[in-house]
Structure 1
Amino acid sequence: MALLEVEKLSKSYGSNTAVAEVGFHIDKGETYGLLGPNGAGKSTTISIIAGVLKADSGSVRIDGQEHGVSNAATKGQIGFVPQELALYPDLNAWDNLMFFARLYGLSGAKARSRCGEILEIIDLTDRAKENVSTFSGGMSRRLNIGVGMLNRPRLLILDEPAVGVDAQSRNAILESIQRQAADGVSVLYTTHYMEEAERLCDRVGIIDSGRIQAEGTQRELISQVGEDDTIVLSLGGGKDRAVRALKELSEVREVSVEGSEVRLLLKDARSVIARILEVVTASEAVLRSVEVQEPDLEAVFLHLTGKALRE
């Protein structure tokens, strides 16, 4: 059952259309990614969904209830983590969390308990009494996410939360989000990093120029654009016999050879790989290595929009 339903959402600024009839849904406990380059309409879309920006047209429903900037009941079910840091640098991590907990209506023992839980989730318990002004970018980002989780949201919205941080901090951020999803929280995650979407998201909506160009699981998106998988074999003696035999396989669409490397184009390589290895073994070729290369979301985005994801 859908927790979030978005229908024909549109927003313009003068003659500039930021969002054009965007529609998608997120099921309970699902992580949905909006994948697109900067300026694609991701931030505008989620700002409307979070209830901080009014749409020109379209609708948003949370668990079947109409949702908008003035609906406090549905807003209370959302945790929103903006791309910009919403923290007080002169306060320590604990005091920041306590301040925002009070804004959420938590106080006393409940506030202290929840702030303690959040510090554990974002792995900052040992830095709780340090001023945020001394934090690294990654630590600040993690605390920013923690603030968005204080109210135990049913829908957690994150606008590129890992942008501009080092690899270790990015991994910590993604792990904390995965833990929320494992606990049944629905997640709406925007990014222009393909690898983040692949790691986190059950389904992905590819957005460009304010429109959803396609959506689905990674494999569904790849199948929509007809991309082939590639198997790369490094062969020694007996290579020519192996190549002739591989060309006879109905599953193999194309075989190319460059030096010791043999590249096979085909659909669903993982279901065929065992047969490929049988043929190579039967030809008595020396197999040095094998690699399966599956199309990724970057390739899908390029196919759909004619440009690279990070342009």
Structure 2
Amino acid sequence: MQQQPQWVGIDVSKANLDVYLRPSGKQFQFNNQTSGIVELIEQLQAFEIKQVILEASGGLELEAAQALQEQGYAISIINPRQGRDFAKASGKLAKTDRIDAAVLAHFGQAMQPAVTVLPNANEQTLQEFVTRRRQLVDMLAAEKNRQSSLRGKMRQDVEAHLEWLEKRIEQLDREIEELSQEQEQWRCRIKVLKSVPGIGKVIATTLVAALPELGQVSDKRISALVGVAPFNRESGKYRGSRTIWGGRSRVRSVLYMGVLVAVRHNRILKSFYARLLAGGKAKKVALIACMHKLLRILNAMVRDGETWRVPASTD
């Protein structure tokens, strides 16, 4: 066992896992299949591993990341933009799989990103069900848009597809409901979330599936994960408007839909939204601020296991 801690960068492709250890400089390549992942873990056992850094690669990284996490390794899955920006800042303009693996290891050592906790098998199943429902809803909306411009046989074909989609979505809703009730923790979280005016069953289930960190991390961290934390844009005398970027777009989308309802029916957010508009904020900016506030409220409620109640102060 080597005593010097190693930061591991893994560049993931459909076929291979290119691995780089820093500071030892060791390089390996394994196939991105179960057999190759087993070899990877066996090879890493000869080193003291500090952290393993991978980029999100459309799901290609998940099997390796899950196996590494199960073996007790601290992993971090970062946005590819972070890795690319770090490479440019480090003067690494060339791009190959081996170079990218080395950049990821360097990124881990220099930036020490937060550890990613992957969902367990049950959580993954719930995520897949919720994702599939969203895909079908998107297909339903697209087919409805096409329906108005079609005639005759093609219109009948679209109408038959619409009927099938509606039935399948209803079936998925029942399956998601059954699945979400199997776990006591999920039942409690969904009950807490649904108690908030503006948060319905679909939004609550999506938050449980796609944002398992809710109630487990700080308000600042949860806002960054979702991508509703505003970032300053200032330099010298320049004062730009603050912007949001990054984060989990799917969570942000359902949260936005919840806020549209909440600013009409939730006393706290309705008052907050009105004050922002009265202060000259644009509607979109005010809605994003309400999303931020709603997320912090939900985070505290799930953390404390408390259902909705109107606070004494509405600030």
Relative contact order, higher structure (CA 8 A, sep 6+): 1
TM value normalised by structure 2: 0.25
TM value normalised by structure 1: 0.25
Which one has a larger percent helix, Structure 1 or Structure 2?
2
Which one has a larger percent strand, Structure 1 or Structure 2?
1
